[in-house]
Amino acid sequence: MSKVKRPLDGIRVVALEQYMSAPYCSMLLADAGAEVIKVERPGTGDPRRSIPPFVEKDGRKKAGGFMAYNRNKKSFALNIREEAGKKIYLDLVKKADVVVENLRPGSTDKMGIGYKDLKKINPRLVYAAISGFGRMEGYEGPLSNRPAFDIVAEAMSGIMHLVGFEDKPPSWTIYGMADVYTGLCTSFAIMQALFMRERTGEGQFVDSAMLDNMISLNERMVMLYSITGQEPHRGRLKHLYPRGAFQCKDGYLALNVPDDLIWARLCKVINREDLIKDEKSRSGTARASNAAFLRPIIEEWLKIRTREEAEETMNSSGIPVGSVYTAEDIFASPQVEARKMLLNIEDPDVGNNKFARGPVMLSSSPEPRQSPAPELGQHSREILTKILEKTDEEISQLEDAGITQLG
């Protein structure tokens, strides 16, 4: 019986990436077994190497965000703005299956290393381009050449309009959500393209726009406006209640009552069966209109109970609820531990740290590798020697010319 392999064993990914979206995408591919070669600028590398927070030990300091999104990768320091570096990059792409890239729109085309250029030398290549507003020919919009950070995509997708309180300005969700979600969507698209390649023998261009991804995530706003013409607003829903965080003795509990059946169960649990048929609360619309009346009643029952006590009582009565976790709660959760959602990554310089694993699990695939994020240029010599077949003398010349950096 052959040894069980990971889904992407044998797939080589060249990651011309920086910051978060593309690094998260290629990290998921690396977790799935792909050989991910992260191409970085000599001297500085990915800008995220210098962005806090930092972890420090014995005088060594490393950026937590870089460590979190770059595990299981190889770092190749290469100056692709020089002709010698560009030639090496092209030679590497010839032997690759996938390119993941999130540079500013148009920059790779100007350097002669965009998809049209690479397709000529490797027709089987899957080229995934992440941008703010999309880059595929025939689908360009007036904003296609704009740069974008995650908060821009959150804002323009309508998500920020829905986050926060009714009487306060729009708010962002969590730091980097559009980047991380885009990375996830892009990895999914790459898998589709690789599957198609098995059938056709040809690669293709994968166009992943942060704005598109966030609009797809915000599908309820699109559906509601299309069907009813209504504009959803942050802080309240017109057709259902209760929904939100309600205070317990030791924190908050997330509660959602989507229909009258769950409402009846809740009323019985809190010993207020009179509210089942009350005009103020007999329907979702009525409950939404009378939230100020109902919230104190629910919290009166919750405030004398811990989150765990309320969870046990409500869940056993068919009311799905969950505690609003802090980071400390996540690290202490038996459920999180049982699911092995926190990977222990041992870095040779700064020790052991925990990072979140990817969101999917396969029954016939081993656990993700747990190799730490690489030092800048750590694998340059290995790649130049084993993949590109350069001699020691050639490598020394490239290093002296500033084309590469050896870790």
User: Which residue out of 97, 150, 179, 347 is catalytically annotated?
Assistant: 179
310: CB partners within 8 A, 6+ apart: 248, 253, 302, 321
What lies within 8 Å, CB to CB, of 316 at 6+ separation is: none
**Dist CA 381 CA 371 (whole Å):** 18
DSSP H helical ranges for 53-176: 64-69, 83-94, 107-111, 115-121, 150-156, 159-162
**By three-state DSSP, how is residue 38 classified?**
strand
CA 391 – CA 37 distance, rounded (Å): 20
CB contact at 8 A, 395 and 404 = yes
Position 165: which residue type?
F
> Is 97 an annotated catalytic residue?
no
Query: Residue 21, Cα to own-chain centre: how many angstroms?
Result: 7
Closest CA to 49 of 13, 20, 29: 20
The CB-side HSE value for 382 (13 A sphere, CA atoms) comes to 12
Q: What angle do CA 214, 291, 228 make, to 5 degrees?
A: 45
Which positions are catalytic?
179
